[in-house]
Amino acid sequence: MILKHSKQRDAIKSFLMTRKDHPTADVVYTNVREEFPNISLGTVYRNLTLLSEIGEISRIRVGDGIDHFDADISLHYHFVCTHCGSVLDLNMESLSHINEIAGAGFDGKISGHVTYFYGTCPKCTSQELLS
């Protein structure tokens, strides 16, 4: 399948690059519609999937049942606020050593891990102090 250029795909990628949070497909749809009022939700999904398959963006699953997307494909971990649901980046060292810990007592082959952290985000923590 030869990839053809598309304005819609460019717009989706560009929008994602402007965001430091990790929008869902629906948020992408809502925002890209400002530039392309007729864009279809299917086009957004298809391109998000395509872009993540070719490694230009990454798909993040944090257990809320909704896929989030991130234009930052560098290795990093995520934090999910259990109060407001926001997804933030964590600036921390790689945890690749845990693959060896997991593999020690396991007969199969471990090729990676998925980790995210949860708790109260800075914004919600400061609001707790007020109440």
Partner DNA sequence: CCTCTAAATAGTAACGATTACTGTTATTAT
Partner DNA sequence: ATAATAACAGTAATCGTTACTATTTAGAGG
Residues in the chain: 131
Quick check: 124 and 84 in contact, CB under 8 A? yes
Q: Which does 105 bind (CB under 5 to 8 A by kind): a copy of itself, DNA, none?
A: a copy of itself
Q: Which does 69 bind (CB under 5 to 8 A by kind): a copy of itself, DNA, none?
A: none
Provide the binding-site residues for a copy of itself, judged by CB under 8 A. Answer: 61, 63, 65, 77, 79, 81-82, 88, 90-93, 95, 98-99, 101-102, 104-122, 124-125
C-alpha 103 chain-centroid distance? 27
HSE-CB for 22 with a 13 A CA cutoff = 25
Residue type, 80: V
Beta carbon nearer to a copy of itself, 20 or 113: 113
Q: Which does 46 bind (CB under 5 to 8 A by kind): a copy of itself, DNA, none?
A: DNA
Q: Which region holds residue 93: left if phi is over 0, alpha if psi is between -120 and 50, else beta?
A: beta
Provide the binding-site residues for DNA, judged by CB under 7 A. Answer: 1-9, 24-26, 36, 38-43, 45-47, 49-50, 65-67
For tokens 């699953």, name the residue: 61
Q: Which does 5 bind (CB under 5 to 8 A by kind): DNA, a copy of itself, none?
A: DNA
